[in-house]
A and B are shown apart, each in its own frame.
Chain A
Amino acid sequence: DAGVTQSPTHLIKTRGQQVTLRCSPKSGHDTVSWYQQALGQGPQFIFQYYEEEERQRGNFPDRFSGHQFPNYSSELNVNALLLGDSALYLCASSLSQGEQYFGPGTRLTVT
């Protein structure tokens, strides 16, 4: 049984560009959460998707948006990239109110 998978593994973008990150949840999970982890810090909650709707959002600007598909996979989109957006982006899947299981992350570098 595959766990949470994320793609791509690494990504380098230029300031002002847009990026899309992808996540496939663990089999049977219906909820996907996205976190940003800056170097040397704990993960910060971006938002959570359940039944294809954004259910909860952290303190991130509207440049960060997402989507959940009928098969429960999810995308994170970031527009107008800033240098400060460089981080490890983590996807976590769960059953609603269940334990969250994290993927390996996508390392985004903005130059």
Chain B
Amino acid sequence: QQQVKQSPQSLIVQKGGISIINCAYENTAFDYFPWYQQFPGKGPALLIAIRPDVSEKKEGRFTISFNKSAKQFSLHIMDSQPGDSATYFCAARNDHFGNEKLTFGTGTRLTIIP
């Protein structure tokens, strides 16, 4: 059973535009939500993460919006640049000791065009 659904599968955005990737989860026990960026041939790199006690977190050009009642969260990339072209994964975790596996979405391939 897929517990984290991610959309869209692929996204093309013009340079300088806003890229938006959405995720929805089913397990209400999840309480930690990271986003990872992965370039071809590399491992995923942690980008930004949020916990459900806040509705938004911003780090530079990257913002996570979180809607606990809807069980949805999204990544916004402002002023998107060609170097942002990568695959992005949302993930979720039940953040209790001994139960730390990350459940990933299926990924979004983002392409930023000039």
Measured CB to CB, the residues of A under 8 A from B are 4, 31, 33, 35, 40-45, 48, 50, 55-56, 58, 90, 92, 94, 96-97, 99-105
Besides the contacts A41-B107, A45-B102, A56-B100, what 8 more A-B pairs have beta carbons closer than 8 Å? A43-B44, A43-B89, A56-B98, A96-B100, A97-B100, A100-B34, A100-B46, A102-B46
Distance to closest chain A CB from B81 (angstroms) = 23
Given A42-B89, A43-B89, A97-B95, A102 and B43 touching (CB < 8 A)? yes
What is the size category of the interface that chain B forms with chain A?
A: 20 to 34
Contact A31 B45 (CB under 8 A): no
* CB <8 Å contact, A99 and B46: yes
CB nearest neighbor in A for B103: A45
| Residues of chain B at the chain A interface (Cβ within 8 Å) | 6, 34, 36, 41-46, 49, 89, 91, 95-107
Q: Is the CB of B44 within 8 A of A48?
A: no
Residues of B within 8 A of A90 (CB): 43-44
The CA-CA distance from A92 to B34 in the complex, in Å, is 14
- Which residues does chain B contribute within 8 Å of A48, judged by CB atoms? 100-101
15 A-B pairs within 8 Å (CB atoms) are namely A33-B102, A42-B91, A42-B107, A43-B104, A45-B101, A48-B100, A56-B98, A94-B100, A97-B95, A97-B96, A99-B49, A100-B100, A101-B46, A104-B42, A104-B43
